[in-house]
Amino acid sequence: MVYVEGFVTAVPAANKATYLEHAAKAAVLLKECGVRRMVETWGDDVPAGKVTDFRRAVQAKDDEAVVFSWFEYPSRQVRDAANEQISNDPRMAQMATSMPFDGKRMIFSGFEGLLDQGPKGKAAYVDGFVVPVPASKKEAYRQFASKHAPLFVEYGALRVVEAWGDDVLEGKVTDFRKAVQATGDENVVYSWIEWGSKAARDTGWQKLMADERMKPDHADTPFDGKRMFYGGFASVLDV
């Protein structure tokens, strides 16, 4: 099962080209260190939430976009070895001095794969989610996700991934737990759905919302949906 390093970042919209150049350079080094796949997606349909949302998660300013991105590894052991190598690479240290965003407001953590389903393919559009889930309901959440993932695939999704918080870091300014207002007994789930295009995503969701099997059963939902946040993102780098 895939191991994920998940990121959410606020990037000035004016710095989009510079950010992509920065990410492409980093991708070359990350591949050397063991990253199997690196994906960067740019906020496109990121709604405001009543309690939590992606913009609040990283304290995004009016002129900033939200980036949802992740690295994929075959295991945590490979991730840990990669992070050690990355931290000692002078090329990465040099790149860190010229980041086109505020690194203090970037949130990132390690997540172990809980579900990975779908035919896969080149994703042009991604729905990203961050969810607070009681630790005692991990298996209930996995079953909940396993029940719904096939419906997304049925209606055109290329891949559905659910990843359970494993190395969730505490930040001084922002972090994943603060972002979903997690209580002491809750963990954080980082998940996404990959689509072949935004049109495929919009059509898929329209069909899903009309499907009786997707109607929510609040008694069967193992998390607080009011604190879950989500958004649509256009893929800008996938290597």
Domain that holds residue 108: 3-238
Per-residue pLDDT at 92: 87
C-alpha span between 203 and 109 (Å, rounded): 32
| pLDDT tens over the chain, length 239 residues | 999 999 999 999 999 999 999 999 999 999 999 999 999 999 999 999 999 999 999 999 999 999 999 999 999 999 999 999 999 999 888 888 889 999 999 999 999 999 999 999 999 999 999 999 999 999 999 999 999 999 999 999 999 999 999 999 999 999 999 999 999 999 999 999 999 999 999 999 999 999 999 987 777 899 999 999 999 999 999 99
Q: Rounded to two decimals, what is the model's pTM? A: 0.96
Say what the pLDDT of residue 66 is.
98
Sole residue written with tokens 């994943």: 176
Task: Please tell me the predicted confidence (pLDDT) of residue 96.
Answer: 85
Q: Are 35 and 143 in contact (CB under 8 A)?
A: no
Q: Whats the size of the chain, residue-wise? A: 239
Pairwise CA distance, residues 185 & 182, whole Å: 8
Token pair listed for 150? 């096939």
**How many folded domains does the chain comprise?**
1
| Phi then psi dihedrals of residue 191, to 5 deg | -145, 165
User: Which CATH number fits the domain that encloses residue 230?
Assistant: 3.30.70.100
C-alpha distances out from residue 58 to 78, 103, 108, 168, 170, Å: 28, 10, 11, 16, 13
Phi-psi region of 175 (alpha: psi -120 to 50; beta: other; left: phi over 0): beta
